[in-house]
Structure 1
Amino acid sequence: MFNDQLLAGRRILVTGGGTGLGKGMAAKFLQLGAEVHICGRRKIVCDETATELMGEYGGRVVSHGVDIRNALAVDEMIEQIWAGGPLTDLINNAAGNFVSRTQDLSPRGFDAVANIVMHGTFYVTHAVGRRWIAGKHPGNVVSITVTWVRNGSPFVVPSAMSKSAIHAMTMSLAAEWGRYGIRLNTIAPGEIPTEGMSKRLNPNDQPGARTIARNPMGRVGKMEELQNLAVFLISGGCDWISGETIAMDGAQALATGGNFYEMREWSDADWQQARDAISAQNEKDRAKRA
């Protein structure tokens, strides 16, 4: 679909690039000739991903360990990257989410999502964008959001609120920064099963089962579809697209609302089972970090 050197000369940062959707997009950018930077809280995971991707595709992947909830740490990482030259593109992918009845949420649970998704995304976008403006460099920002930014979603209120903030940031900065040659867009993908996402959002189901049953096209999304859309948005193929949120979900949001409304039928026992499954996944993740 794309010339194999389409992104030659590009320097792209993918937040949350060590696993899941971020890793998939980073791989595609690398295949197309870009120098790729990935960051995440677990630097060892990003290091392993960088080694894996360079071993498979060649090129250069630079790994950074950073907690994007820390604005100072974000600025230090971006300054370090800029020492080798400006970025050309930013992919805001880092996120966190889990299902919960809102009355069961603690402030800490809310902040666990909002501090990464809303605050962290702004910190990275601001650190990159102000350097682009100061250096008179054009740039692209592509952020991963959700279809719920258009209609909300029960049982994932911290994510719905925080992703809506990214949606608003994208529209606002597209208008404010367009004169500097900076474009911002978002992709709102439907379910593309990854381990962490599936076990925190559909803890009682097999990955993809709910989407397959409800989606108009009867399937989940494919990583290559997300990769191709992300590449197109930064490729220069249509630089007049800015401020847009593009749904990539097989029309599921149009047909069903695309959110977690059906969980209103869960019993207290169902919610307890979900909490137990999410806790088990969190313990598994902590063990990996240890």
Structure 2
Amino acid sequence: MRHVLVTGAGSGIGRGIALAFARTGADITLCDRTAAPLGETEALARDAGAGRVTAITADLRDGDAPGAVVDEAWDRAPVDVLVSSAGVYPATPFLDLDAATWDRVLDVNTRAPVLLTVALARRAVPVGRGASVVNISSGAALRARPGAAPYSTSKAALEAATRASALELGHHGIRVNAVAPGFVTVDSAVNPVTAEYADAVGDNPLGRRGLPDDIARAVVWLAGDEANWITGEVLRVDGGSSTGAWNLPQHWTADGREEHA
């Protein structure tokens, strides 16, 4: 039975991922900053069929927290899958940025996943155990958005860190990949969005917004044996929104094209 550690498991995509693994019967360790929603996920995971379920409350902005979380989880049972889903997405106009805002986003969205991966590798490598790491990125890694300079930067850096760690850890049997969601409908007090924003970014060729389960299914597959020769990759689960600018008008009409033929 696999032991899966999921950060950001208190709500949204992280909760969806935790419950997807729970439905496979895995042992689950849940991590989030706030105890109450984490407790809700814990109860849901038990109902979904998980084996042992444990909750760890931790603030991953603390540089020592990622290592402590991995150690606490590993001391219960070696960790087979690590999913770094915890993230913050503040809306801060560029001229209002300061060091504290920038550092908070990068600390949670980039530094914490890297340090979690380091901590896992330090426990797994000496005992010869393989593992799978899945980082949760974003379409913002490819396209900047107003008010999201630190967020876009953090996710682009996370994708680079995913490739770098996959390169160095592959020969130890540790795979590191990322899943980059498009716009996903979630109820998140940590990262609220306006209806106007959702309407603007939620359009895509497949014609619907994503759901946490869309991302969770991809994560479970990427972490599993069917993907055991994949590492250092970013899987974009976004309804096709990264393929191009779907909502732009044609740049000339059919009549205009005939005139220029």
Q: Do Structure 1 and Structure 2 share a fold, with TM-score over 0.5?
A: yes
Structure-2 residue corresponding to 1:231: 220
Structure-1 residue corresponding to 2:250: none
Q: Is the 8 A contact 1:11 1:34 kept in 2?
A: yes
Moved over 6 A (4+): none
Q: Is the 8 A contact 1:191 1:221 kept in 2?
A: yes
| Counterpart AA for 1:133 | V
Q: Distance in 1 between matches of 2:190 and 2:164?
A: 31
Q: Is the 8 A contact 1:211 1:220 kept in 2?
A: no
Q: Distance in 2 between matches of 1:224 and 1:198?
A: 19
2:101 counterpart of 1:109:
yes
Once the two structures are overlaid, the 10-residue window that deviates more, 245-254 or 180-189, is 245-254
Q: Distance in 1 between matches of 2:50 and 2:229?
A: 32
1:194-233 to 2 correspondences below 5 Å: 194-196=186-188, 200=192, 202-203=193-194, 205=196, 208-212=198-202, 214-233=203-222
| Counterpart AA for 1:130 | R
Q: 1:253 to 1:198 in 2, by over 3 A?
A: farther
| Counterpart AA for 1:76 | A
Question: How far is the alpha carbon of 1:197 from its aligned partner?
Answer: 7.5
| Counterpart AA for 1:233 | L
Question: How far is the alpha carbon of 1:243 from its aligned partner?
Answer: 0.4
Structure-1 residue corresponding to 2:243: 254
The 3-state SS of whatever aligns with 2:229 is: coil
2:76 counterpart of 1:79:
no
2:24 counterpart of 1:35:
no
Q: Distance in 2 between matches of 1:53 and 1:233?
A: 20
**Which whole-Å deviations, capped at 9, do the CAs of 1:155-204 have from their partners, x for residues lacking one?**
2111111111211111111111110011011011111111227963x425
Question: How far is the alpha carbon of 1:60 from its aligned partner?
Answer: 2.4
The 3-state SS of whatever aligns with 1:13 is: strand
Question: How far is the alpha carbon of 1:48 from its aligned partner?
Answer: 2.6
Q: Is the 8 A contact 1:211 1:219 kept in 2?
A: no
Question: How far is the alpha carbon of 1:143 from its aligned partner?
Answer: 0.5
Q: Is the 8 A contact 1:30 1:59 kept in 2?
A: yes
Question: How far is the alpha carbon of 1:154 from its aligned partner?
Answer: 4.1
Between the two structures, name the one with larger relative contact order (CA 8 Å, sep ≥ 6): 2
The 3-state SS of whatever aligns with 1:143 is: strand
**Which whole-Å deviations, capped at 9, do the CAs of 1:122-162 have from their partners, x for residues lacking one?**
22111112211122110000011012323444421111111
Structure-1 residue corresponding to 2:125: 133
1:21-170 to 2 correspondences below 5 Å: 21-57=13-49, 59-170=51-162
Q: Distance in 2 between matches of 1:125 and 1:151?
A: 26
Question: How far is the alpha carbon of 1:45 from its aligned partner?
Answer: 2.3
Q: Distance in 2 between matches of 1:246 and 1:188?
A: 6
**TM-score normalised by the chain length of structure 1:** 0.79
| Counterpart AA for 2:196 | D
The 3-state SS of whatever aligns with 1:256 is: coil
1:193 paired residue among 180, 185, 203: 185
Q: Distance in 2 between matches of 1:39 and 1:166?
A: 19
Question: How far is the alpha carbon of 1:251 from its aligned partner?
Answer: 1.6
Question: How far is the alpha carbon of 1:225 from its aligned partner?
Answer: 1.8
Structure 1 unaligned runs (5+)? 1-8, 259-290
Q: Is the 8 A contact 2:131 2:175 kept in 1?
A: yes
Q: 1:56 to 1:248 in 2, by over 3 A?
A: closer
Q: Is the 8 A contact 2:11 2:188 kept in 1?
A: no
Question: How far is the alpha carbon of 1:209 from its aligned partner?
Answer: 2.4
| Counterpart AA for 2:80 | T
Q: Distance in 1 between matches of 2:57 and 2:21?
A: 20
Higher helix share: 1
The 3-state SS of whatever aligns with 2:188 is: helix
| Counterpart AA for 1:228 | R
Structure-2 residue corresponding to 1:270: none
User: What is the aligned-residue RMSD (CA, Å)?
Assistant: 2.1
Question: How far is the alpha carbon of 1:101 from its aligned partner?
Answer: 1.7
